[in-house]
A = this chain, B = another copy of it.
Amino acid sequence: MVEQQQNKNEELYNVEELRQYLLEGNIESFRESFLELHPYDQAQFYEKVGPDIRKTIYQFLSPQEMALIFEAIELEDEEYEQFLKEMDTVYGAEMLSYMYTDDAVDVLNELDDEHRESYLEIMDSETVEEINELLAYEEYTAGAIMTKEYVSILENSTVRSAMTVLRNEAPNAETIYYVFVVDENHCLTGVISLRDLIISDEDTLIKDIMNERVVYVKVSDDQEDIAQIMKDYNFLAIPVVNESNKLIGIITVDDIIDVIDEEASDDYSKLAGVTDIDDIEASPFKAATKRLPWLIMLLFLGMITATLMGQFEETLDKVALLALFIPLISGTSGNSGTQALAVAVRGIATGEIDEKSKMKMLLREVLTGLITGIVCGLIVVGIIFVWKHTLVVGLLVGAAISCSILVATIAGSFIPLLIHKLGVDPAVASGPFITTLNDVTSILIYLGLATTFLGQLS
């Protein structure tokens, strides 16, 4: 697939040719070839050519044309600042005002205050007002990802006038496939799809054919919950209302895809104990800085394990054989804890685990822990008996593994539920954290049992 796509892109446009036009200053040929491309391909080219050639692009394209590229581009956070600094401030400000408000806000959010102000000072007051409104919303809420470019009409309009509004708004609106219906106070009262509009008689009143059971979100709603609703209902866009039910924006499916991606990466990276997964382009120093806090925190936790084990130094001194199974026991308990954790964190994130199903799930995990613990314990007794011909050590290790798996499975599901209850994202109970905690308990169980039955061992 990737290959086919690359070949296709080569057919679609010739990078070298475009670059040549820019170097030669051949504005006409460049515009002719370049403006035919999909904004995403334009953005790919723009991003890769380097700052010198980009300077020529700014001369060859209008701020409005550049706005399309910036809507399609996907940059590292700090690159937005860098790319904008290459442009003339007036050109940049004009480009930003041509962008959809939500995309412009995303870019402006990456700039330092002073740099951002320099643009807002030049832009026209209406746009600045819209942008400031969005900038004020908290991150990860509906307000922060919504756009102001939607199509709305009054309930008493006809299909004909709705189509006229649509045609006029088509070049600017982010989606024209839903028209949102409002009353004279701009309160949301319904929705109608373009699909329904084109099959309706032109003289029909909107309020007679609109869907009154419109699903909406509030401006302060969490983006993850909104993603869930749009996934469930298969919406292409969802309206956003304020506290007084006034329509103030919409969220489109493309932004929701980004949210889903982001949240999944987020859960994933937390399970792995890295604060930010997207550091493939980062320098080794930056990568190390991101990973070290976790590693060091876990080092200290590991030291606690060592301290606690110190209590059993005497036992270990007497039966060195015991030490051989420490990695096995802590590893197995860590693994089963991570499994339970993953199921719980994912279940909470997708909303499948709620207040009602919580106890049921905990009980389920207790039983699962019992079953997996007993099975693994028996296997271990068998292996050690065959290998070391000792039943006592085998039984000891088997019992320790069974207990550890049970405890780890319960901890892996209970801790995220507890953290969630406290209002914190359960993904912070990350994999390495649970693993290290389970290390401690499993080794305590093991060496505790060993010390108790020390007489039988030697």
Known contacts A166-B198, A296-B376, A320-B313; is-contact A72 B280 (Cβ 8 Å): no
Q: Which residue of B lies closest to A252 (CB)?
A: B234
Q: Which residue of B lies closest to A354 (CB)?
A: B2
- Output the least CB separation between A59 and chain B (Å): 25
Taking a contact as CB atoms under 8 Å apart, the answer to whether B367 and A284 are in contact is yes
Taking a contact as CB atoms under 8 Å apart, the answer to whether A265 and B346 are in contact is yes
- 0/1 interface trace, chain A 268-300, chain B, CB 8 Å (1 if under): 110111100111111111011001101110111
Taking a contact as CB atoms under 8 Å apart, the answer to whether A309 and B327 are in contact is yes
A161 CB-CB contact with B under 8 Å: no
A23 CB-CB contact with B under 8 Å: no
B residues in contact with A405, CB < 8 Å: 295
Complexed CA–CA distance, A204 and B254 (Å): 30
Taking a contact as CB atoms under 8 Å apart, the answer to whether B332 and A299 are in contact is yes
A317 CB-CB contact with B under 8 Å: yes
Taking a contact as CB atoms under 8 Å apart, the answer to whether A335 and B284 are in contact is no
Complexed CA–CA distance, A387 and B303 (Å): 10
A321 CB-CB contact with B under 8 Å: yes
Taking a contact as CB atoms under 8 Å apart, the answer to whether B288 and A372 are in contact is yes
Known contacts A274-B339, A342-B274; is-contact A268 B260 (Cβ 8 Å): no
A352 CB-CB contact with B under 8 Å: yes
Segment at the interface with B among A48-56, A77-85, A124-132, A225-233: A225-233
Taking a contact as CB atoms under 8 Å apart, the answer to whether A328 and B313 are in contact is no
Taking a contact as CB atoms under 8 Å apart, the answer to whether B265 and A368 are in contact is no
Q: Which residue of B lies closest to A142 (CB)?
A: B1
- 0/1 interface trace, chain A 361-382, chain B, CB 8 Å (1 if under): 1001101101110011001100
B residues in contact with A271, CB < 8 Å: 268, 271-272, 342, 431
User: Could you say which of B1, B217, B323, B376 contacts A316, with CB atoms under 8 Å apart?
Assistant: B323
Cross-chain pairs A/B with CB under 8 angstroms, 5 sampled:
A177-B177, A260-B260, A273-B335, A280-B347, A431-B431
Residues of A that sit less than 8 Å from B by CB:
1-2, 4-5, 8, 12, 36-38, 40, 72, 74, 163, 166-167, 170-171, 176-177, 194-195, 198-199, 213, 215, 217-218, 221-222, 225-226, 229, 231-234, 236, 253-254, 256-258, 260-261, 264-265, 267-269, 271-274, 277-285, 287-288, 291-292, 294-296, 298-300, 302-303, 305-307, 309-310, 313, 316-317, 320-321, 323-328, 330-332, 334-336, 338-339, 341-343, 346-347, 351-354, 357, 361, 364-365, 367-368, 370-372, 375-376, 379-380, 383, 387, 405, 431-432, 435-436, 439, 443
